[in-house]
Chain A
């Protein structure tokens, strides 16, 4: 459905700021596809290129058989785009914003009401409120409705859950699942690693390059080290001590535990236990850990760094 081919983009007078370098991705029809990476990685630049708002320096992209540069007019009819920054009309009411977006796509709210119904019912009590006076969560829902009102084939969501609390984030992903079931292809970006597992396929992006493109389960299965979860009485000392041990490739905080990375087939739980005891740490608890997308991201960032 979306094919991204060797796209590069630089900014600045002499093109000295490289935002994207040689990006290639493949998104299948009906997929919920996640672009995962921190701020400044190039996510928004890629979104703007794919939504025909910015021209790439090199490479090309095709969406539903249409080129993002040559066929931009046709393409815009089938794309829905929710930018990271709230960009609806602040001085129009909820209803007016939605009517406006429907009318520029030559449709009406009624025609595609079924698609937005679940989300819109929560907004209806505020129909006459100006969009600028809505709370953050409500703005986000209105923006999603406006991006959906012309029943797009492909929906682009740029960091829809940034700065949103856990409860609203969960709700939002529930909404995305329902939209996916309607057959809409969804391309979503997020800095939250824990949202990666909710996608069918993900690309990890950092400093304008793709670190990996894979299914979440395949990515974590490719993590080729032993990983232990370690807990003890003094976590910060424990981390420092472990980082200096030559058997340890990496040791970093991960919620309640430290994650300790070692080469497969070298040391085990008992070795770590003895080492920490000898260093005077107590209340030691060690377990095997299944790597998460975040573990993979950390690993890829460190190994690909030059």
Chain B
């Protein structure tokens, strides 16, 4: 199946018992796009992301990620995506270079590829001197930048970023986004969740989930003009507060 899209979903649904965590979502993400995936706690973002990364089997509906069927080709999907989250990214008790080597191995890279990528990656982040440090000794901001670099070291078609900048200082947060822009410019599709509404503005298009459904999907300026407001914060607030099954 030939795609101009990086991700396609059609009525994608996940039920836990009677509870529809994800309720028939349909959308497309363009190749090389920075796509923001927003929603209140409990709206279904994580469940949707788990299906798209091949970690959870949908109850019904279709989805293709990097051209592969999430039902029958989830292993191929895993080789073609990157993933990082705020909560889990790197092994704290491994050294910086060990983490890089470990992930390179998981992604099926050869040892010579890993060697050259390690060098390149460390010099780009200007942390050559920290190569032998344990990851837990690095400041949070460095960790997050390292984790992101590792998540794209195998040049995936898509990278999934789950709240990658939570708790990060405002300067590092922006450096992180500069790295995202650079990755997107190289053709990597970015699928990102965030609680920072200023970051929603940095996305080309934004989907907002409410109660398992996608209630809005558009460019940030189009969403703002639809709700006649000049802040994404306001757009999000107005959509999310209608939620029936909020996490509150």
Query: How would residues 158 to 195 of chain A score, 1 for a CB under 8 Å from any chain B CB and 0 otherwise?
Result: 00001111111011000000000000000000011110
Cross-chain contact A138 with B220 (CB below 8 angstroms): no
Residue A33, interface by CB 8 Å: no
B231 proximity list for chain A (CB < 8 A): 255
Contact of B237 among A137, A166, A194, A255 (CB under 8 A): A166
Residue A254, interface by CB 8 Å: yes
A162 proximity list for chain B (CB < 8 A): 166-167
Q: How far apart sit A40 and B136, CA to CA, in the bound complex (Å)?
A: 12
Cross-chain contact A137 with B171 (CB below 8 angstroms): no
Q: Which residues of A from 100 to 143 have beta carbons under 8 Å from B? A: 122, 135-138, 141
Contact of B248 among A135, A192, A206, A301 (CB under 8 A): A135
Q: How far apart sit A163 and B181, CA to CA, in the bound complex (Å)?
A: 24
Cross-chain contact A39 with B248 (CB below 8 angstroms): no
In the assembled complex, the CB of B204 is this many whole angstroms from the nearest CB of chain A, namely 11
21 A-B contacts, Cβ less than 8 Å apart?
A38-B141, A40-B139, A136-B42, A141-B248, A164-B41, A165-B240, A166-B233, A167-B241, A167-B248, A168-B40, A191-B167, A193-B170, A206-B169, A236-B185, A253-B177, A253-B198, A255-B197, A297-B169, A297-B170, A298-B170, A301-B171
Q: How far apart sit A165 and B200, CA to CA, in the bound complex (Å)?
A: 13
Cross-chain contact B232 with A168 (CB below 8 angstroms): no
Cross-chain contact B247 with A136 (CB below 8 angstroms): yes
Cross-chain contact B181 with A236 (CB below 8 angstroms): yes
Cross-chain contact A40 with B240 (CB below 8 angstroms): no
Residue B49, interface by CB 8 Å: no
Cross-chain contact B167 with A170 (CB below 8 angstroms): no
Q: How far apart sit A209 and B159, CA to CA, in the bound complex (Å)?
A: 35
Interface set of B (CB-CB < 8 Å, partner A): 39-42, 139-141, 163, 166-172, 174, 177-178, 181, 185, 195-198, 201-202, 220-221, 231-233, 236-237, 240-241, 243, 246-248
Nearest chain-A residue to B43 (Cβ)?
A: A165
In the assembled complex, the CB of A176 is this many whole angstroms from the nearest CB of chain B, namely 16
Q: How far apart sit A157 and B52, CA to CA, in the bound complex (Å)?
A: 36
Known: A38-B140, A165-B240. A301 touches B201 (CB 8 A): no
A239 proximity list for chain B (CB < 8 A): 178
Contact of A166 among B166, B185, B240, B247 (CB under 8 A): B240
Known: A135-B247, A253-B177, A255-B198. A166 touches B168 (CB 8 A): no
Residue A294, interface by CB 8 Å: yes
Nearest chain-B residue to A171 (Cβ)?
A: B248
In the assembled complex, the CB of B120 is this many whole angstroms from the nearest CB of chain A, namely 21
**A interface residues, tally (CB under 8 Å):** 37
Contact of A255 among B178, B232, B241, B243 (CB under 8 A): B232
Residue among A168, A256, A294 having the largest count of chain B Cβ atoms under 10 Å = A256
Cross-chain contact B140 with A39 (CB below 8 angstroms): yes
Q: How far apart sit A252 and B39, CA to CA, in the bound complex (Å)?
A: 26
Q: How far apart sit A39 and B138, CA to CA, in the bound complex (Å)?
A: 12
Cross-chain contact A301 with B170 (CB below 8 angstroms): yes
B139 proximity list for chain A (CB < 8 A): 40
In the assembled complex, the CB of A138 is this many whole angstroms from the nearest CB of chain B, namely 7
Cross-chain contact B237 with A167 (CB below 8 angstroms): yes
Q: How far apart sit A122 and B246, CA to CA, in the bound complex (Å)?
A: 12
Residue A85, interface by CB 8 Å: no
Cross-chain contact A167 with B40 (CB below 8 angstroms): yes
B41 proximity list for chain A (CB < 8 A): 135-137, 163-165, 168
Q: How far apart sit A253 and B198, CA to CA, in the bound complex (Å)?
A: 9
Nearest chain-A residue to B166 (Cβ)?
A: A163
Residue A302, interface by CB 8 Å: yes
Cross-chain contact B181 with A302 (CB below 8 angstroms): no
Cross-chain contact B174 with A252 (CB below 8 angstroms): yes
Cross-chain contact A135 with B170 (CB below 8 angstroms): no
Q: How far apart sit A298 and B169, CA to CA, in the bound complex (Å)?
A: 9
Residue among A37, A165, A252 having the largest count of chain B Cβ atoms under 10 Å = A165
Nearest chain-B residue to A161 (Cβ)?
A: B195
Complex A-B, nearest 7 residue pairs according to Cβ-Cβ distance, in ascending order? A39-B167, A38-B169, A255-B198, A137-B248, A165-B40, A255-B201, A135-B247
A37 proximity list for chain B (CB < 8 A): 169
B168 proximity list for chain A (CB < 8 A): 38-39, 191
Q: How far apart sit A39 and B140, CA to CA, in the bound complex (Å)?
A: 7
Q: Which residues of A from 254 to 281 have beta carbons under 8 Å from B? A: 254-256
In the assembled complex, the CB of B135 is this many whole angstroms from the nearest CB of chain A, namely 14
Known: A37-B169, A255-B201. A170 touches B237 (CB 8 A): yes
Known: A39-B140, A253-B177. A168 touches B247 (CB 8 A): yes
In the assembled complex, the CB of A41 is this many whole angstroms from the nearest CB of chain B, namely 8
Nearest chain-B residue to A165 (Cβ)?
A: B40
B163 proximity list for chain A (CB < 8 A): 163
